[in-house]
Amino acid sequence: MAKLAKVPPEEMVKFTIDWVTSLATRINRFYEFMVPKIFNVAPKYNHIEIVADVVAKKALWVVKKRYAMLKVYDMEKNKPVKSKDGREGKLR
């Protein structure tokens, strides 16, 4: 069995940000064509859009709407998330 190369966490976060951004862009371009055909809505009234939220290193879901995650990057603000003492990530 082949071993996977150890990738530094900073590179994984950057890869994830780039991948999520490109995926959201592709889905939104698809929505430009899909929404008028499926929902019979004029393109200028299309308000459906995919927007990325956060990138997290770890997460735990217990039940619906009860979860905790270690956020490392806020996609809405386009900046890394730091704790009060300056360490990477913030538990939410």
Q: Which residue from 4, 8, 22 is spatially nearest to 57, judged by alpha carbons?
A: 8
Tell whether the torsion through CA atoms of 63, 65, 67 and 71 is positive or negative.
positive
Position 56 scores a pLDDT of 86
Domain annotation covers residue 1? no
Domain-embedded: residue 90:
yes
Within this chain, do residues 37 and 68 fall inside the same structural domain, yes or no? Answer: no
Under 8 Å CB-to-CB from 3, ≥6 apart: which residues?
none
**What distance, in Å, lies between the first and last C-alpha atoms of the chain?**
37
pLDDT per residue over 19-37, tens digit each? 999 999 999 999 999 999 9
Q: Name the domain count of the chain.
A: 2
Domain interval for residue 35: 9-49
Q: What is the pTM of this model?
A: 0.72
pLDDT of residue 29: 93
Listed as ranges, residues in the chain with pLDDT below 50 are none
